[in-house]
Amino acid sequence: GPPPLPPLVALPSEDATEVSLVDLRQQPAAEAARLLPIATRERAGMLMCLHFLGEHDLLAGWEDGTLQRFDLRAPGRAVGC
């Protein structure tokens, strides 16, 4: 079957340039981390898509075409695509 999904919701930040992770295990639900595209030093533009690849992996795509895979076990660290 499909891989298990984490108890997180990924959504664009207020200005739509970062990924905001919300932990549903906290009551009330609270932001757990902010993820940035680190493949580029320039602004990548608006966050266009998010997709959980499994329990520990999130794929995010930005307006400039940047794709970044994040390991959710270490949210501050992006891994290659």
Q: How far is CA 45 from CA 8, 19, 73, 80, in A?
A: 23, 12, 25, 19
| Residue 77 pLDDT | 60
Q: Which is more confident, 80 or 72?
A: 72
Task: Tell me the average pLDDT of the chain.
Answer: 81
In DSSP terms, 34 is beta-bridged to 20
51: pLDDT strictly greater than 80? yes
- What is the mean predicted confidence (pLDDT) over 18-22? 89
In the chain, the amino acid numbered 35 is: L
In the chain, the amino acid numbered 77 is: R
Q: Which is more confident, 36 or 76?
A: 36
